[in-house]
Copies of this chain bind each other. A is one copy, B any other.
Amino acid sequence: MPQGQPLTVPNDGLTTKARRNAPLLAVHTGPGKGKSTAAFGMALRAWNQGFDIAVFQFVKSAKWKVGEESAFRELGKLHDEHGVGGPVQWHKMGSGWSWTRKQGSEVDHAETARDGWAEISRRIAEERHDFYVLDEFTYPLKWGWISVHEVVEVLGNRGGNQHVVITGRDAPQELIEAADLVTEMTKVKHPMDAGRKGQRGIEW
């Protein structure tokens, strides 16, 4: 519940407005629930301000998070048809990204993940979107498929006012150092520990 007042005012030569409008790099990490969910909640707020939203899901299976995808597609339609909120694009790695003709069965996941990052870094260079969610993006970083150093460089040099939220466990230290906002979600208690199963409207 931050009240919008910084604890200290840095001697960085920036005006309040410049500090206010600095594009945010946020990382949601840790073993608990809510990393992606909070990122989509942030995207909801950004959508409401008319921001151009792009979600890139670095997940193999399309089974999870279909609820958010479906809700955001409806929000995107609200923008396109009624001018409410901002436009929404939702891309997932699944069996190959929507913009490529490659099929997942023909390529390996590492290559598909690298294709995803290459596309994102092109879009960042073009300042295509206002708010990017790179969902589960820490995994290809962790597995060495994508260079953390390159990601930090591209994000560090991004122009305009492009906000980026990255989710996933075990965020690399270099990424954490580069981020403005880092939240760790810790599991205190989880219903699956008690043998309960995922359910409609909660897990999907």
- A contact set with B: CB distance below 8 Å: 1-2, 4-10, 12, 16, 19-22, 24, 27-30, 32-34, 36-42, 44-49, 51, 59, 64-65, 67-68, 70-71, 74-75, 78, 84-85, 130-131, 136, 163, 169, 176, 179-204
Contacts and interface: CB of A to CB of B under 8 A. Distances in A.
Given A8-B195, A191-B180, A197-B19, A71 B42 contact: no
B195 A10 contact: yes
A34 B185 contact: yes
B179 A183 contact: no
Given A12-B195, A48-B68, A184-B185, 7 more contacts: A2-B190, A40-B44, A48-B74, A48-B201, A181-B189, A184-B186, A185-B185
A57 to B, nearest CB: 11
Contact of A192 (B6, B67, B187): B6
